[in-house]
């Protein structure tokens, strides 16, 4: 079983930065692609960013492209989401996900203007 624990969320002003972490334990972490998703109040959970098992291929939602960066440190069993130039619309609970059905508990990000 894979366990995922997010951290690093908090309150930040628009234009600022945050770095989220997703620490994993259980299975062979390096072989599992990791996806960041977020859920804002009143909305469904949406895709944010994804990295493959080795971190060489990444993808991003259009809404965060150029501002967020996903990275992976397999030695530490951790995936990061660097959030730069954040906007109020980035306010959400951020989750990390691993196939087939593993989710963390989420970490709250609140961006004020």
Q: What is the pLDDT of residues 34-83, one digit of tens each?
A: 899 999 999 999 999 999 867 678 999 999 999 999 998 888 889 999 99
What does the pLDDT read at residue 86?
Answer: 98
Euclidean distance between CA atoms 12 and 56, whole angstroms = 29
Helices (H) and strands (E) in the chain, counts: 0, 11
């Amino acid at each position: 079983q894979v366990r995922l624990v997010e951290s690093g969320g908090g309150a930040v002003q628009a234009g600022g930065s945050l770095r989220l972490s997703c620490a994993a334990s259980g299975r062979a972490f390096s072989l599992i692609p990791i996806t960041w998703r977020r859920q804002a109040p009143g909305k469904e959970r949406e895709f944010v960013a994804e990295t493959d098992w080795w971190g060489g291929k990444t993808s991003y939602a259009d809404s965060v492209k150029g501002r967020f960066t996903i990275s992976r440190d397999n030695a530490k069993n951790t995936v990061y989401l660097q959030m730069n130039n954040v906007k109020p619309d980035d306010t959400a609970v951020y989750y990390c996900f691993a196939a087939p059905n593993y989710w963390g508990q989420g970490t709250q990000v609140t961006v004020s203007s």
